């Protein structure tokens, strides 16, 4: 459990570097705390001023005669060290460094930041920043606006974490416009000490936080983030986490020898982290608030406790007084992973009895433009009670006879009685403002456009699926870890960093992969002898560290049926390799038993020193280069993650049986993906690997490795820690 109370709920605060000059950060932060109605005791610290905003100033922290919880530091780096040492001596438990000029500029600033962190850690003092906006707690018993944002947000149940201070001011302005409230609001800047993981641990047990929003630029340790985020999103008291991640379109994939390395990148890592953690990734600030409004939606259950409204399924009813917006909502419903509910006959009869003959009583329900609140109430009552409906979208467009406030009141009455989520779209600004305000005050989500409403419903449905997911039992593996370690250590000792099939099959066999008989031949005669021994048909492949992609050099010959084919193929491969790359050192030609037919897939892994291994699964063979139909997860993974990976590619239709083709051995495939996760976690020296193709045979027949390659390189940091 993380204790950050001194930062979020301090009894006393000193602003070190408080200024008498309006417009300066030191002045504005002090005045923001003062005018925000802070419930604790506030001390300005400035050696050159008698008072700040009519409050007596102290020349130094050490001269404040009373206990102190939090020190706000608004000083340049060199002066900050002394002030923080005084704060430590004074007994503070929290420090917020707003000033810039530290790690972000490098050099001396970086060194000073490191010294400050060492000082504070030695005495158990937590640091927020440097280079941050500050901390805000608008709850009535605290009312702390320790930031240089003049706006104190409304109190609510959503906590916000941001790496960008500049973004925070825009978010606060946006929230005020939407009457949106926060429980905690923090900018973490350089993350010298307190980071997202610390804050998630704190918010996990914070009774005032029900939803967590994060603006993320980068993570230092993805595995620890996954562990705590998964506990929060799916634990005993689940809380949704919404993340907006910058840099999605930046060039993230590094130059790499493997398909996995070229397809993977930082964004693939973050997408994997979010999927494994139950985190909802959003595309914009607007969407961040849209989804948060829906997730904050609660009602009182039979025990008198407030319960978050999430749907049991994806079947949605739409009630609208205009056809066009209803069509837009219908389209966005399907795009958002939802489907239009099919009403029971009884529901249709009830609708017919309450609505005019010109109304549409099938989904979407069009109650016609002249609908007053009674028509809305009758229609919504009918559809929300239908057992085939998991929730409803209510759309209102202002007509001359529309009563926005009356309709809002009717919706709230129904919403209070129903456990199913009801999301509203009141289109317009002036004519619907009273109804919108009433819905907001009553806690019913309301949006200006139908597409926003449908996407928000889609988000809470995805979260409901996460909450209700089944957990498969773990596999009971018996890997030959010693054999794998022997291969890797021997290769590294010999200075060998690229492993082809000859060595790679030993690693894979140790972890339960079916590999083909494989012999290295130095001559055509050796190749024929090997083929005769293992039986025809066979495959021949060039072996050279300088020729990674064998097919490009004409270095693969398949389905060789007899000795003559083998002899000719051997000569063609050697000549082709020399023509492709004259300087290549050719170690020989692999002779391999021809694998039985199967669907081609690719398995791979690529190591990131801050996160561990990113696993890849996708459509294999040359198709991986053409379609890039792949999914990623961060190792280690469990059966659930492996199953999600297999079902997450577009080519799953082909694997699951298509147009008379047999269904492949999905159980064996999922098991091999988890085995691959174990392999890279047990052997962090594996930097990149490809198994391409892995041939997956019909149900019950397993899968066979047809080709593989490994790149070894000892890591800078440790291997995987926590199962996901």
User: In the prediction, which pLDDT does 235 show?
Assistant: 84
- CA–CA distance from 665 to each of 436, 480, 668, 693 (Å)? 53, 23, 6, 15
Phi, psi torsion values for 173, nearest 5 degrees: -65, -40
Per-residue pLDDT for 264 more than 60?
no
Least confident range of 119-123, 353-357, 623-627, 670-674: 623-627
Per-residue pLDDT for 490 more than 70?
yes
Q: What does the buried/exposed string (b/e) look like for 327-359 if buried means 16 or more CB atoms within 10 Å of the residue's CB?
A: ebbbebbeebebebbebeeebbebbeebbeeeb
CA-angle at 284, arms to 282 and 290, nearest 5°: 70
User: In the prediction, which pLDDT does 265 show?
Assistant: 60
Q: Can you tell me the mean pLDDT for 278-299? A: 91
User: In the prediction, which pLDDT does 306 show?
Assistant: 62
User: In the prediction, which pLDDT does 375 show?
Assistant: 95
Task: Report if pTM > 0.95.
Answer: no
Cα 49 to Cα 544: distance, rounded to the nearest angstrom? 75
Helices vs. strands in the chain: H and E counts, helices first: 24, 34
Cα 71 to Cα 567: distance, rounded to the nearest angstrom? 80
User: In the prediction, which pLDDT does 522 show?
Assistant: 95
Summarised one tens digit per residue, pLDDT across range 137-168 is: 999 999 999 998 888 999 999 999 998 877 88
Summarised one tens digit per residue, pLDDT across range 178-191 is: 889 999 999 999 99
Please determine whether the domains at 306-467 and 517-594 fall in the same fold group of CATH. no
Summarised one tens digit per residue, pLDDT across range 506-523 is: 999 999 999 999 999 999
Q: Can you tell me the mean pLDDT for 37-51? A: 97
Per-residue pLDDT for 302 more than 50?
no
Q: Can you tell me the mean pLDDT for 533-545? A: 93
Pairing, β 315-320 against β 365-366: parallel
- CA–CA distance from 345 to each of 66, 420, 646, 701 (Å)? 73, 20, 39, 47
**Average pLDDT along the chain:** 91
CA atoms within 13 A on the CB side of 263: 27
Residue 48 buriedness (CB in 10 A; 0-12 / 13-18 / 19+): exposed
User: In the prediction, which pLDDT does 194 show?
Assistant: 96
User: In the prediction, which pLDDT does 446 show?
Assistant: 96
Summarised one tens digit per residue, pLDDT across range 209-254 is: 999 999 998 888 888 999 999 999 998 889 999 999 887 654 434 4
Q: Which CATH class is domain 517-594?
A: alpha beta
**Is the CB of residue 211 less than 8 Å from the CB of residue 158?**
yes
CATH superfamily, with its number, for domain 306-467: Succinyl-CoA synthetase domains (3.40.50.261)
Percent of the chain with pLDDT over 90: 79
| DSSP sequence for 117-150 | HHHHHHTT-EEE-SS--EEEE-STTT-EEEES-S
User: In the prediction, which pLDDT does 196 show?
Assistant: 95
Percent of the chain with pLDDT over 70: 94
Residue 265's contacts (CB-CB under 8 Å, 6 or more residues apart) are 251, 252, 253, 254
User: In the prediction, which pLDDT does 500 show?
Assistant: 84
Summarised one tens digit per residue, pLDDT across range 4-18 is: 999 999 999 999 999
- Which tokens belong to 150? 């003049």
User: In the prediction, which pLDDT does 246 show?
Assistant: 80
**Is the CB of residue 611 less than 8 Å from the CB of residue 718?**
no
User: In the prediction, which pLDDT does 14 show?
Assistant: 98
Summarised one tens digit per residue, pLDDT across range 613-631 is: 999 999 886 666 666 889 9
Cα 45 to Cα 16: distance, rounded to the nearest angstrom? 5
Residue 430 buriedness (CB in 10 A; 0-12 / 13-18 / 19+): exposed
pLDDT-derived band at 381 (thresholds 50, 70, 90) equals very high
**Is the CB of residue 692 less than 8 Å from the CB of residue 707?**
yes
**Is the CB of residue 52 less than 8 Å from the CB of residue 30?**
yes
Cα 185 to Cα 48: distance, rounded to the nearest angstrom? 32
Cα 542 to Cα 526: distance, rounded to the nearest angstrom? 14
Q: Can you tell me the mean pLDDT for 579-606? A: 93
- pLDDT higher at 43 or 501: 43
- pLDDT higher at 434 or 265: 434
User: In the prediction, which pLDDT does 249 show?
Assistant: 53
Cα 433 to Cα 377: distance, rounded to the nearest angstrom? 19
**Is the CB of residue 157 less than 8 Å from the CB of residue 296?**
yes
Per-residue pLDDT for 582 more than 80?
yes
SS3 51: strand
* Residue corresponding to tokens 């890997």: 479
- For the chain, which residues make up each domain, given as ranges? 306-467, 517-594
Per-residue pLDDT for 501 more than 60?
yes
User: In the prediction, which pLDDT does 668 show?
Assistant: 97
Write a three-state SS string for 310-366.
Answer: CCCCCEEEEEECCHHHHHHHHHHHHHCCCEECCCCHHHHHHHHHHCCCCCECCCCEE
Per-residue pLDDT for 665 more than 50?
yes
Closest CA to 519 of 585, 574, 575, 566: 566
- Which tokens belong to 469? 């997911």
User: In the prediction, which pLDDT does 236 show?
Assistant: 85
User: In the prediction, which pLDDT does 124 show?
Assistant: 96
């Amino acid at each position: 459990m993380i204790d950050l109370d001194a930062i979020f709920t301090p009894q006393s605060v000193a602003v070190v570097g408080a200024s008498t000059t309006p417009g300066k950060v030191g002045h504005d932060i002090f005045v923001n705390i003062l005018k925000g109605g802070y419930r604790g005791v506030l001390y300005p610290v400035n050696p050159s001023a008698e008072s700040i905003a009519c409050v007596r100033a102290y020349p130094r922290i050490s001269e404040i005669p009373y206990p102190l919880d939090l020190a706000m530091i608004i000083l340049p780096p060199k002066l900050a060290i002394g002030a923080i040492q005084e704060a430590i001596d004074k007994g503070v438990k929290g420090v917020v460094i707003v000033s810039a000029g530290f790690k972000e500029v490098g050099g001396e600033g970086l060194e000073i930041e490191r010294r400050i962190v060492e000082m504070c850690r030695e005495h158990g003092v937590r640091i927020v920043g440097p280079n941050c906006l500050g901390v805000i707690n608008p709850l009535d018993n605290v009312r702390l606006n320790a930031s240089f944002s003049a706006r104190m947000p409304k109190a609510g149940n959503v906590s916000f974490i941001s790496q960008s201070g500049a973004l925070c001011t825009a978010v606060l302005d946006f929230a005020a416009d939407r009457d949106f409230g926060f429980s905690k609001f923090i900018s973490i800047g350089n993350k010298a000490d307190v980071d997202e993981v610390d804050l998630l641990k704190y918010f996990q047990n914070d009774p005032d936080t029900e939803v967590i929003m994060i603006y993320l630029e980068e993570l230092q340790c993805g595995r620890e983030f996954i562990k705590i985020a998964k506990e929060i999103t799916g634990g005993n008291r689940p809380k949704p986490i919404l993340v907006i991640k910058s840099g999605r379109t930046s060039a993230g994939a590094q130059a790499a020898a493997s398909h996995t390395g070229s397809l993977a990148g930082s964004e693939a890592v973050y997408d994997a982290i979010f999927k494994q953690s139950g985190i909802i990734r959003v595309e914009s600030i607007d969407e961040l608030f849209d989804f948060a409004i829906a997730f904050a939606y609660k009602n009182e259950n039979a025990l008198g406790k407030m319960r978050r409204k999430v749907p049991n399924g994806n079947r949605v009813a739409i009630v609208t007084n205009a056809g066009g917006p209803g069509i837009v909502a219908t389209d966005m419903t399907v795009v958002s992973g939802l489907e239009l509910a099919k009403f029971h006959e009884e529901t249709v009869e009830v609708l017919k009895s309450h609505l005019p003959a010109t109304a549409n009583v099938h989904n979407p329900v069009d109650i016609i433009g002249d609908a007053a609140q009674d028509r809305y109430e009758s229609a919504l009552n009918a559809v929300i009670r239908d057992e085939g409906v998991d929730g409803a979208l209510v759309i209102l467009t202002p007509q001359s006879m529309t009563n926005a406030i009356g309709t809002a009141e009717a919706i709230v009455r129904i919403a209070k009685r129903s456990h199913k989520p009801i999301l509203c779209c009141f289109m317009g600004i002036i004519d619907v403002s009273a109804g919108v305000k009433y819905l907001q005050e009553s806690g019913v989500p309301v949006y200006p456009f139908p597409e926003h409403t449908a996407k928000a419903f889609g988000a809470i449905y995805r979260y409901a699926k996460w909450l209700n997911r089944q957990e498969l039992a773990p596999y009971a593996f018996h890997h030959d870890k010693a054999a794998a370690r022997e291969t890797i250590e021997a290769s590294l000792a010999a200075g060998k960093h690229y492993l082809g099939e000859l060595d790679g099959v030993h690693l894979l066999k140790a972890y339960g992969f079916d590999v083909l008989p494989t012999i290295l031949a130095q001559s055509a005669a050796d190749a024929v002898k090997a083929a005769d021994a293992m039986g025809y048909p066979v495959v021949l492949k060039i072996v050279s560290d300088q020729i990674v992609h064998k097919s490009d050099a004409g270095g693969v010959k398949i389905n060789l049926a007899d000795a003559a084919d083998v002899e000719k193929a051997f000569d063609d491969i050697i000549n082709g390799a020399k023509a492709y790359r004259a300087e290549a050192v050719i170690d020989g030609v692999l002779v391999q038993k021809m694998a039985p037919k199967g669907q081609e897939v690719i398995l791979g892994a690529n190591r990131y020193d801050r996160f561990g291994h990113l696993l890849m699964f996708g459509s294999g063979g040359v198709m991986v280069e053409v379609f890039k139909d792949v999914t990623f997860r961060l190792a280690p993974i469990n059966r659930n993650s492996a199953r999600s990976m297999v079902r997450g590619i577009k080519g799953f239709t082909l694997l699951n049986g298509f147009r008379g083709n047999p269904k492949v051995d999905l159980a064996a495939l999922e098991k091999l993906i988890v085995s691959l996760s174990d392999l890279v976690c047990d052997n962090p020296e594996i930097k990149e690997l490809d198994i391409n193709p892995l041939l997956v045979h019909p149900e019950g027949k397993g899968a066979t490795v047809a080709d593989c390659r490994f790149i070894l390189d000892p890591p800078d940091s440790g291997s995987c820690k926590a199962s996901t």
